[in-house]
Structure 1
Amino acid sequence: MNFKRIKKIAKRKVRFIIDPLKEYLSNKRVRIRAKYSQYVSLPIKEKTVLYEAYHGRSISGNCYAIFLKLVQDKDFKDYHHVWVINDISDPMVEELKRNYQNVSFTSVDSNHYLKYLATSKYLINDTSFPFYFVKRDEQIYINTWHGTPLKTLGLDIKNRGMSTHKNIQRNLLHSDYLISPNQFTYEKLLKSHDIYEIYAGKVADIGYPRTDLTLETNGEEVRKTLNIPLDKKVILYAPTWRGTVGKENDTSQVLLDEVMDIQKSMGDDYIVLLKSHYFTFEYFKKNKLDHLCVPNWYDTNKLLAAVDILITDYSSIFFDFLPLKKPVLFYMIDHQEYEAERGFYLDINNLPGPVCESLNELIDKLQNIHILKKEFSEQYDKYLEEFCYNDDGQASKRLVEMIFKKQNQEQLISTETDKQKLLFYCGGFYNNGITMSAINLFDHIDYSKYEVTVIDNANEHKDKWKNIRKLNPKVHVLYRPGVFNKTLKETYEHQLVLRRGIYTDSMSKTAPVKAYQRELKRIIGNAKFDIGIDFGGYNKFWSMLFAFGQFKTRSIYLHNDMMEEYNKKINGKYKHRKNLKVIFSLYKYYDKVVSVAKSANEENYKNLRQFIPDADRKMVYVDNVIGSKQILKNKDVKNTVQTNGKEYLILREQNEENPNILNIFGLTVPKKENYNFINIGRLSPEKGQEKLINSFARLHKEFPNSKLYIVGDGPLKKQLTLQAETLGLENDIIFAGQLENPFALLDECDCFVLSSDYEGQGLVLMEAMIVGKPIIATDVTGVRSVLEGGLGLLVENTEEALTEAMKKYITEGIEYRTFDYESYNNHALQLFYKNVCQS
């Protein structure tokens, strides 16, 4: 071994030791995740309850109401209560210390917080715990959420992807109990976060504990505490904060002006108070006007007991106020814009109070407050009936009895389906054959028997959202927020796996399997899936999670001749070797290793059976399903435009940045007098387009009216374009790029040519057969089993053979039989049900 090689190995070993330690010492978030991961092995504290309201910003709301009920119950006198509060100077801290002995306090991300989060038996939250949180099986997580939604949530928010709410989705999946004020709320919350049918927890439709505070609090006591005159009527203005960080003063000044105008118009009989965002409160405080603001630390629901009239806009506060049967006014100067940008669940025109679009209109309604009760009595009663039927002041009592004392649990609601549940990882939703195969499969699965969920990273790339929107609407999508939780020891163990795989028994003993299982649970929470399917098959991280996941059956897909993929080079570098070295060692942990064609399975069996105990049983094939209906529809979508005396087929339209500008891309419509050949595929070495271009160059010399259209994108784009130019064929070989709908162009061409050196199945072959095109294809793995029986012309994998085949098409034509795609799809689905879905 030469010196350079020795030096390289030594350097790699030193980095292996130093890099994780360096990251641990320099990155606070890494240390937080590592400490938390250590603490999850500590014993559970059976009589400890952790409360976190609004990410530790206050001691209030549902969490506070539950706390009060528990500390007053003699059955729980020896329980320890831990409040998460980031500002230890919050007056509520001193109040709780003064009144209760068994209470302690911590702040988000602190060492004590991590330990309590990992070991407290009961976890109560009204929003969400941090990304690194993983509920242990012994813990009980109660999520109360924080209001009946007027505004849309999650997927229902206009112009926004689900991944912005990924941690809420994840927290809901972790919760054992979801406390709901009404049926409307839990249905909207679970459905908008795409988990209604897979939510494994139970819904307690028992009302909000915080509303008990409103109903049981003495209004005069509130006024005394907050120095509000007893002889005045109280108007509370509680708007949603919609300012911009950095421009808080602008928004706060507007609110101040509004409060002063309302106060002036209503006279001395009223006092107008503002319940504001933290930024606004600080502004008022700085300007010595904080007496107009309700302190942020004071519980809003207790405050409502002292309020005579409520003014709000889009806040859920009005639902909590309704049981008092006092007037509500909605000040919504921008509701049309809000509707367009965000959206509402409820009809703004039928709210239980007037909607005012200007300050003058609001003041006019306030000055005639005596007629509002009669005018809006019908809407008020409807809202009380639909949203407040639980508001009797006993919600906290019901919660404690149901969850802590295990009484009346038959009243709990389950939304979980009893269908077989399938969990897929689909490879990142890039524009490739794997993505199309998944989309096609999901369009054909029997949803009366199967509940389908896809899991993916929350990273964004240009193709992802476009492809996710193509998924069947019955498919759930879960997103992975944050990063891998690992202790320092598990980090080293994981790095070893990434370097060496898990090929031996000794490697399997040192692999951090518990960390992989913990990470999958961090994403899916309590959700239970029968079948885990790594449909992507190229990502070692996801292959590890699925290999060790708690499924009845695990399957991993092989979309190609994987040994050829292992040896594939692009620009002198091995494309997949680093990943596949690890993934090959994981095949033994899967129950089924699934190739996507019979011939691909034969080749994979020959090359990979050494890694798979019981390979004869485990290695199977499942043909890809084809989206025949969409293909037949898309082939007829042919928009054309004429300019400069030529007719162009429009293949791409883009107007995302400015709706007033349309950018189009098109190609000249293939002429009938030409011989138009077409190739569709990624511009990558295994697709053999370099060989095809050389073959076409030979053909073109003899048939100058021949054209070749190449559809696709990839790492060889520049190389192939230069090759065509060097051959003087830049006007005869047309590179169309990646097309959303290649089938319109395919339909206009005469013959499809596949020049691949190997394929998984050659999905594009079947797409061409559905369009009804004659096919020329190299006789290689993944192609042979698709075209055998006369569905196309198979030729040797050489330039000469491809040239002769294209000549044959021109001079003689190619015989081919009709493709029965409906029978094919039925057979493919039966293979999927048999080889993947049977436990």
Structure 2
Amino acid sequence: MVKTKIKKVLKKVIDRNLYKRIIYTKYLEKKPISERKIFYEAYHGESMTGNTFAVFIHLLHDPRFKDYQHIWAIKDFSVIQEEFRHVPNITFVHYQSVSYIIHLATAKYLINDTTFPSYFQKRKEQIYANMWHGTPLKTMGLDIKNKGFADHKNIQRNFLLTDYMISPNQFTYEKLLKSHDIFTIYNGEVVNIGYPRVDLMFKADWDQLRKKLSIAAHKKVILYAPTWRGTIGGKKNESAKLLQDVQFIQQSVGDDYIVLLKSHYYAHRFFTEQGADHICIPNEMDTNELLSIVDVLITDYSSIFFDFLPTNRPILFYAYDEEEYMEKRGTYIPLSDLPGPICKTVSDIVDRLLHIDEVKKNYERTYQDFLRRFCYHDDGKATKRFVDVVFFRKTSEYVVKTVTNKTKILLYGGGFLNNGITASVTNLLKSIDYSAYDVTLIDYGNIKEEKINNMKAIHREVHIIHRVGTWNATVLEKFRHKFFLQKGIYKDWMRRIIPTKMYKRELERMIGLSKFDIGIDFSGYSPFWATLFAFGDFKRKSIFLHSDMIKEREKKINNKYPHRKNLKVIFSLYRFYDNVLSVSKLTHEQNKQNLKHYIGEYTKKMDYVINSIDYNNILSKKEEYQYEFAMEPDLSFTKKLASSSSYPMPSNTHINFITIGRLGPEKDHAKLIQAFSTLSSQNKNVRLYIVGDGVLKEQLAKQVKDLALDKKVFFTGQLSNPYGLLNQCDCFVLSSNQEGQPMVLLEALVLKKPVIVTDIPGSRSVVEGGYGLIVENSVEGLTDGMKQFIDGNKINQREFDYESYRNDAINMFYEKVCRLDE
């Protein structure tokens, strides 16, 4: 009674999705697996059809499975065929109901042709077979034109959780795994055996099907099976065209044919409203069984034609919107290469139907080529092969592994905002030897334009896994997690309180069966990722420190401390890493000294790895605006460079100083502006370019205005390519109060720019030894440094060997982060 009341209260006080995850987690953790339970889902519960249905029918009639329980997830029970409604060992559950969740968590076998919800994660004892639903003609995942950056994330996640990916041919599994960016990290098995659903076409009862559809024996069947193109809000207009086309075709071909439509659920509903549902194939009827009685197939971009090929009957492709579809989506195979004519109008379709024997003759060679390439397993025995491999673990020549034996790295790279960490991780990923390492970047699924633009610069060999959904956790774990976020884990007894199992579970929910040797939290600022990597199953774990972390903890912006709470938690996690790595030697020494109070003996894990540099990218972009700068500019000449701000170009009639970095307190642009004000009062030909954006932009702009420097200090905003402007300026100045190892200094040195820096460890680590001028961290120090440059003093005593530097950086990374032989 008490438990029932608690459940009722929980339902009221928490949202339904959270309640589902709590229930699901309870059954994941507390309830045993039902060894003889098989859970089926087709098209997100829309029907009982396709590959899933084919396997179900086979197992239902196989005496070896007579004691098994079959669970079907269904959205609308009206699609259930009458013959299955009252069979004792078949259970139907509403899609995503509590019953659905319980069976999903406890069934031994999980069979799906699309994806399970984002909260799903496979238990080690479960077996998940993903059968997908067709050979892809349409582009998938990353290959889709004009798609969202992470639209494929739950499909990707489901594939990573899959034990067996069932494929009809090599083309299909390669396209699916590569377009979802997991080909070499997919740790399940590809079972390249053909699609069970095609078996249904070979075994269908023709007479029974014709009787069910009231098709006279003398009539030939034309099936129109188009791809769904519309949106829910715009379904009516698309459906109206379908109805008109079907009616026109039927009227044109006469009584010898019957024209049927296999439509999407929404189109079907429209036909019912119009009193024309007799044209539509019932939703509960399996498409592949239907194909057995079809004489001519009309389709467009649907994969249905691949299944139809073994009939050796003609196919017409009705691509009335080809140009639009290609622009929005695209196909893997040019339409001109398909085994049938491409028709742009319904009249073209009718003309081809009236000359169908000629069509068949003209496309015979192409048709046979497609059969050999895509249908070499279509012999009616795919389901048997599936059962042998998945249920009886029989070895098969058709089982393929795509995972590589390279050292595998999983890395979180930060928010990919416009900052030094983004530049640093991007450069690192461009430096790695991908013949030896397989690298995966894991990231939040929230995508912003700034982030997308920066992530496009990532090396093409890097996989990107996007997080979708959220924690599966019990109520108690949630409370324990909140305690951890308040207190950290500084004492041994605290470790018994924090929900370590919840953290491991979350990482497994995201990466599935994939195994990674090395885990790297490259950001070092997110408690979420720092926690997951700290307790993740890696052979070696590293976390990076990109600044003086105590100063970062105390950094204040708009009277708030953005990092204080997070870093309190993260400091306590350092002990669970193998390496705690600063990005320069001097910053490492500073952090080691300052963090003693927080991590005690674990400072022995602290070391440093310098940032890598992509000098080829810098040098290739330095002349991008050279022709603009060659003009004779004056203060009235302005030019926009990927920015909302206008500013004059540098000229040789001025002494042009430049600084690059986010407009935050740690960079202390206010100090630089004040120093420049003093300088400009003594020298009328100086200019200062401030590149970047940030929270202090308005405050700094007001300072410039108050000092009457509007015509000498220019805010460019964030530049996608700052190197052209940097290259045209005379001297780079960095006024920071704290840095780890400033990427902008390295970039300036690659371009052989004189550099002036304030005396802080991160900046000193780059320029000491003659690579730049180090000045007192004050207004006076910066003023004096800029005066020295104007007076002709040589700022840089030595030339920066960026090739040797990059080699040193990546070798440090290999030695300290990637070495597994200790």
Which residue of structure 1 aligns with residue 388 of structure 2? 401
Report the residue type matching 1:49 in the other structure. I
Q: Is the 8 A contact 1:640 1:647 kept in 2?
A: no
Cα gap change, 1:265 to 1:77, in 2 (>3 Å): same
Q: Which runs of 5+ in 1 are unaligned?
A: 1-17, 655-663
Distance in 2 (alpha carbons) for counterparts of 1:482 and 1:575: 25
The answer to whether residue 157 in structure 2 is matched with residue 170 in structure 1 is yes
Equivalent position to 1:706, from 686, 691, 699: 686
Match of 2:32 in 1: 43
Conserved 8 A contact 1:211-1:393: yes
Tell me the CA shift for residue 35 of structure 1: 0.9
Cα gap change, 1:644 to 1:650, in 2 (>3 Å): closer
Alpha-carbon distance between aligned partners in 2 of 1:705 and 1:255, rounded to the nearest angstrom: 72
Aligned to 1:825: 806
- Superposition pairs of residues 726-765 of structure 1, within 5 angstroms: 726-765=706-745
Within the candidate set 228, 231, 234, 1:241 is matched to 228
| Cα separation, partners in 2 of 1:629 and 1:317, compared to 1, 3 Å | same
Rounded Cα–Cα distance in structure 2 between residues aligned with 1:606 and 1:651? 46
The offset of 1:143, in angstroms, is 0.2
Q: Residue 44 of structure 2 aligns to which amino acid in structure 1?
A: H
Query: Conserved in 1, the CA contact under 8 Å of 2:517 and 2:538?
Result: yes
Query: Which ranges in structure 2 are unaligned for 5 or more consecutive residues?
Result: 1-5
Letter of the 1:44 counterpart? I
Report if the CA contact (8 A) 1:640-1:648 is conserved. Answer: no
Cα shift at 1:647:
7.9
Q: Return the offset for 1:644.
A: 9.7
Q: Is the 8 Å Cα contact of residues 520 and 545 (structure 1) preserved in structure 2?
A: yes
Question: For residues 544-693 of structure 1, what are the structure 2 equivalents within 5 Å?
Answer: 544-612=531-599, 614-615=601-602, 617-638=604-625, 640=628, 650=639, 652-653=641-642, 666-693=646-673
Quick one: distance in 1 between partners of 2:66 and 2:97?
27
Q: Could you list the per-position Cα deviations for residues 295-334 of structure 1 after superposition, in whole angstroms to 9, with x for gaps in the alignment?
A: 0111111111111111111111111111011111111111
SS at match of 1:746: helix
2:697 & 2:240 partners in 1: Cα distance?
A: 57
Rate the CA distance shift 1:447–1:260 in 2: closer, same or farther, 3 A.
same
For residues 28-78 of structure 1, give each alpha carbon's deviation from its aligned partner in whole angstroms, at most 9, with x where no partner exists: 111011111111011111111100000111111000111111122222221
Q: Distance in 2 between matches of 1:472 and 1:665?
A: 31
Q: 1:246 deviation in Å? A: 2.7
Q: Of 249, 257, 268, which residue of structure 2 is paired with 1:270?
A: 257
Give TM-score, length-normalised by structure 2: 0.96
Q: Structure 1 CA distance, aligned partners of 2:65 and 2:540?
A: 43
1:146 counterpart = 2:133: yes
Separation of aligned partners in 2, 1:459 and 1:685: 27
| Contact 1:768–1:775 (Cα < 8 Å) also in 2 | yes
Structure 1, 810-819 or 521-530: larger mean CA deviation: 810-819
Q: Within 1, Cα distance between the matches of 2:219 and 2:165?
A: 39
Deviation per residue, 1:407-454 (Å, 9 max, x gap): 124531000010000011111111111111111011110101100100
Q: Deviations over 1:240-259 (max 9, x none)?
A: 12223233332222111111
AA aligned opposite 1:331: Y
- Cα pair 1:39 1:115 within 8 Å, conserved: yes
CA distance, structure 1, for counterparts of residue 234 and residue 562 of structure 2? 48
8 Å CA contact 2:642, 2:720 repeated in 1? no
Asked whether 1:219 is paired with 2:219, we answer: no
2:18 is matched with which residue? 30
Measure, in 1, the Cα distance between the counterparts of 2:424 and 2:487.
31
Deviations 1:149-186 (A, max 9, x none): 11100000112234111100000000001000000000
Structure 1 residues 230-379: aligned runs within 5 Å: 230-379=217-366
CA distance in 2: counterparts of 1:183 and 1:619, whole angstroms: 47
Shift of residue 23, structure 1, vs aligned partner: 8.9
Quick check: 2:167–2:173 contact (8 Å CA) kept in 1?
yes
- The CA RMSD measured in Å over matched residues stands at 1.7
Q: Is the Cα–Cα contact under 8 Å of residues 162 and 193 in structure 1 kept in the other structure?
A: no
User: How many angstroms does 1:675 deviate by?
Assistant: 1.5
Q: Residues of 1 paired with 2:413 and 2:230: CA distance?
A: 39
Distance in 1, Cα, partners of 2:236 & 2:462: 45
TM-score normalised to structure 1 length = 0.94
Q: Is the 8 A contact 1:62 1:210 kept in 2?
A: yes
CA contact (8 A) 2:430 2:458 kept: yes
Write the distance in 2 (CA, Å) between the matches of 1:455 and 1:197.
Answer: 15
Corresponding residue number in structure 2 for 1:14: none
The count of corresponding residues between Structure 1 and Structure 2 is 809
Paired with 1:194 and 1:753, the residues of 2 have a C-alpha distance of 41
Q: Is the 8 A contact 2:641 2:719 kept in 1?
A: yes
* Aligned-partner residue type, residue 479 of structure 1: H
Q: Supply the distance in 1 between the matched residues of 2:427 and 2:789 (Cα, whole angstroms).
A: 31
2:52 is matched with which residue?
63
Matches of 2:284 and 2:398, distance apart in 1: 35
1:648/1:186 CA distance change after superposition, 3 Å: farther
Query: 1:826 and 1:132 mapped to 2: Cα distance?
Result: 43
Which residue of 1 is the match for residue 748 of structure 2? 768
- The answer for the alignment partner of 1:54 in structure 2 is 43
Following superposition, the deviation at residue 673 of structure 1 comes to 2.2
- Tell me how far apart the structure 2 counterparts of residues 725 and 401 of structure 1 sit (CA, whole Å): 78
- How far residue 79 of structure 1 moved from its aligned partner, in angstroms, is 1.3
Give the drift of 1:667. 2.7
Amino acid at match of 1:52: E
Question: CA-to-partner distance for each residue in 1:548-586, whole Å, 9 max, x for gaps?
Answer: 111111111100000000011011111210111111111
> What is the CA–CA distance in structure 2 between the aligned matches of 1:416 and 1:196, rounded to whole Å?
7
1:76 aligned partner: 65
Residue aligning to 2:3: none
Name the SS of the counterpart of 2:376 in structure 1: coil
Shift in Å, 1:101: 2.9
Aligned with 1:147: secondary structure? coil
Residue number in structure 2 paired with 1:15 = none
1:119 & 1:648 partners in 2: Cα distance? Answer: 71
How far apart are the structure 1 equivalents of 2:632 and 2:675? 33
Alignment partner, residue 441 of structure 2: 454
* Corresponding residue to 2:463 among 463, 476, 487: 476
Residue of structure 2 in register with 1:90 after alignment: 79
Partner of 1:3: none
Q: Which residue matches 2:789? A: 809
| 1:79–1:102 contact (8 Å) kept in structure 2 | yes
The 3-state SS of whatever aligns with 2:760 is coil
Secondary structure of residue in 2 paired with 1:620: strand
CA deviation digits over 1:780-831, x for unaligned, max 9?
0211121111001111111111111111111132242100011011011111
Match of 1:658 in 2: none
| 2:40 partner letter | Y
Runs of 4+ in 1 over 6 A off after TM superposition: 21-24, 641-647
Contact 1:46–1:120 under 8 Å retained in 2:
yes
